[in-house]
Amino acid sequence: MQRKLFSLVLTMLLVALSLVPARSVAQQPPQNWDACRLGAFSTEEDFQMQDSEPYDGNPYISDGDVLSLDGEVCARNRDLLAAFFAAAAPPDLGLDALDILNVNDRIVAFSTELDDPGNRFTAGDLLFTNGGDIPNVALVAAFKINYDIGLDAVQFMGPGDKIIAFVDALPNMPRDRFLENPGLLAGMLKEYGIDLWFSIEGTFSSPDQLTILDGDLLSAASGTIVAANSTLLPSSVPAGIPARGVDFGLDAVVVSDRTLDRESALKELAFSTEILFESDKVSFTDGDILRFQDGVLTPNELLIAKVHAAADFLGLDALSGAQPQTEPEPMITLIGNRSVWDIDGGFVTIGGGGTGLYWDGLSTTGPTPPRQPFGWYIPIDGYLTDDIVAFRVAFREVSASPPAPGTASAIQTSWRIREWYGTPPFCRPTGTLDPDGDGWFDAADYRFYQSGSGGCPNGGLVLAVWDTLNDPNVLDKDGHYVLWLEWRTTPGGTVFREPVDHHVQLDNTAPKINDFELHTAGGTTVPACGGAGAGT
């Protein structure tokens, strides 16, 4: 499920979403990092936001800032560097590598474009927001490289809890310990049962004829090449030295599921290169997100579409995937029998933007017109987990601030239920399933009737059907609204909600036709009562 969502998010960009829904939030507003639960990136160039404003009110975006896939600023470069500059405001040192390990605790691995002015770390070091620092020579020690060769892409692999345990140990490991014993890192990675995939900034050739390109994907734990540059790109691309002729570099890399074995992970790999390529068979830029051996996954113009820049190309420097989730959580997946990923704003972080218009192909092959609003009755469906005891679909006007869970208006849906009788017809529509006054359904009753446990399946049951024309809380029948799913896991207990919003644009005004004419194929006007002849 996680890999599917991640792929959807990248292909449609910012509608989102590798991803797996993130952890639910209980009665508290989202933090800035929450916007990057579905993935993050940085650009190669600075720019000024034109029609939007970041959380801190400053429209200037640097190449060191972390951006979400739906165009929000998750963190400034100074936020990443805060642990290294406790006594002064950090300078902006750019952002080259990025791996968000835990959004809730703000644990992020990254590297900078520039060295620390105080000489405490270099642009080749792997830094952590908790103050950890792995010097470059430790990263490359397993390859017998004894100097700082730079760092470009990074991706941790392994169980999430073991990765976090490893990172938690780093603040107690001074940088000098790695410098004195560069081989210490490989031993630690093996001890924790994890790996660190990365790429370097330069080319290295050893006396035993081993050549490592800056386009190769490397393993810090094993000292092996995970995937050569020639393997990453399609066979029609002349990647690889010396056999095929060009080192395309490896600027960013991400795997949708860290726990996959090497072979499976490579099949899910997304990455970007340092240089572009153009041919009749395949073309890409250094700002596109590419699939393993399969060309472009997300073009740069689509990746940056939501950041409101004046340019249509900003490059790509760092990339991080969706946050891992061991099991899917409750969420809305269909609105009006249309995938939320095919709706502009159909799957965005809380408070994120979108038009709420359905756009066929948005999540897959590319959108095709027209963009369509939603009408009178709107079925809404998704999935619930087994621990849910009550649920409802809540909504607000798009102009309203996101309310605390459990306080918004909710959709009221009354169901006619088929019940079992001992004589034909055995299943008769004589039962009802209704919510309480606040829109809450009893989840056990809902599952009982939907599954047919009583003898009569009610497969048409969905989470809600929104009567937008007659709902008294829909003040604007042609308005723009935001939906989300809420639930409880104990009777009368804490209300949880999806960590995403679903935009819906209504249109309950019937078209008015003032006049129309019919014409034959030859152009002759057909009178109201006929008689125009057969035409030509």
Question: pLDDT tens digits for 214-258?
Answer: 999 999 999 999 999 999 999 999 998 888 889 999 999 999 899
Confidence at residue 431, expressed as pLDDT on a 0 to 100 scale: 94
Confidence of residue 324 (pLDDT cuts 50, 70, 90): low
Confidence at residue 14, expressed as pLDDT on a 0 to 100 scale: 37
Quote the mean pLDDT of the chain: 89
Q: How many CB atoms neighbour CB 293 within 10 A?
A: 15
Provide the residue ranges of all domains of the chain, joining segments of one domain with +. 2-10+33-320, 331-409+469-505
Distance, in Å, from the CA atom of 156 to the CA atom of 161, rounded to the nearest integer, reads 12
Confidence at residue 271, expressed as pLDDT on a 0 to 100 scale: 97
Confidence at residue 56, expressed as pLDDT on a 0 to 100 scale: 87
Distance, in Å, from the CA atom of 406 to the CA atom of 519, rounded to the nearest integer, reads 57
Q: List pLDDT tens digits, range 79-122.
A: 999 999 988 899 999 999 999 999 989 999 999 999 999 999 99
How far lies 139's CA from each of 169, 200, 224, in Å?
Answer: 17, 10, 12
The answer to whether residue 457 scores a pLDDT higher than 80 is yes
Question: Can you read off the two tokens belonging to residue 441?
Answer: 């359904």
Instruction: State the average pLDDT over residues 30-37.
Output: 75
The answer to whether residue 78 scores a pLDDT higher than 80 is yes
Kindly report whether the peptide bond that precedes residue 370 is cis, defined as omega within 30 degrees of 0.
yes
Q: Are 124 and 151 in contact (CB under 8 A)?
A: yes
Instruction: Provide the terminal-to-terminal Cα distance of the chain, rounded to the nearest Å.
Output: 57
Confidence at residue 100, expressed as pLDDT on a 0 to 100 scale: 97
Distance, in Å, from the CA atom of 194 to the CA atom of 228, rounded to the nearest integer, reads 21
**3 state SS of 156:** strand
The answer to whether residue 28 scores a pLDDT higher than 50 is no
Q: List pLDDT tens digits, range 210-220.
A: 899 999 999 99
Of 176, 154, 159, which is closest to residue 42 (Cα–Cα)?
Answer: 154
Please state the φ and ψ torsions of residue 394, each to the nearest 5 degrees: -100, 165
Write the DSSP symbol of residue 511. P
The answer to whether residue 175 scores a pLDDT higher than 70 is yes
The answer to whether residue 151 scores a pLDDT higher than 90 is yes
Instruction: State the average pLDDT over residues 375-382.
Output: 97
- Provide CB contacts within 8 A for 516, sequence distance 6+: none
Instruction: State the average pLDDT over residues 285-305.
Output: 93
Q: Are 381 and 334 in contact (CB under 8 A)?
A: yes
The answer to whether residue 21 scores a pLDDT higher than 60 is no
Confidence at residue 532, expressed as pLDDT on a 0 to 100 scale: 53
Confidence at residue 112, expressed as pLDDT on a 0 to 100 scale: 98
Instruction: Find the Cα–Cα–Cα–Cα dihedral 15, 164, 54, 405, rounded to 10°.
Output: 70
Percent helix / strand / coil, the chain, rounded to 5: 15, 25, 55
Confidence at residue 2, expressed as pLDDT on a 0 to 100 scale: 41
The answer to whether residue 366 scores a pLDDT higher than 80 is no
pTM value surpassing 0.75: no
Of 110, 113, 90, which is closest to residue 100 (Cα–Cα)?
Answer: 110
Instruction: State the average pLDDT over residues 334-343.
Output: 95
Confidence at residue 53, expressed as pLDDT on a 0 to 100 scale: 82
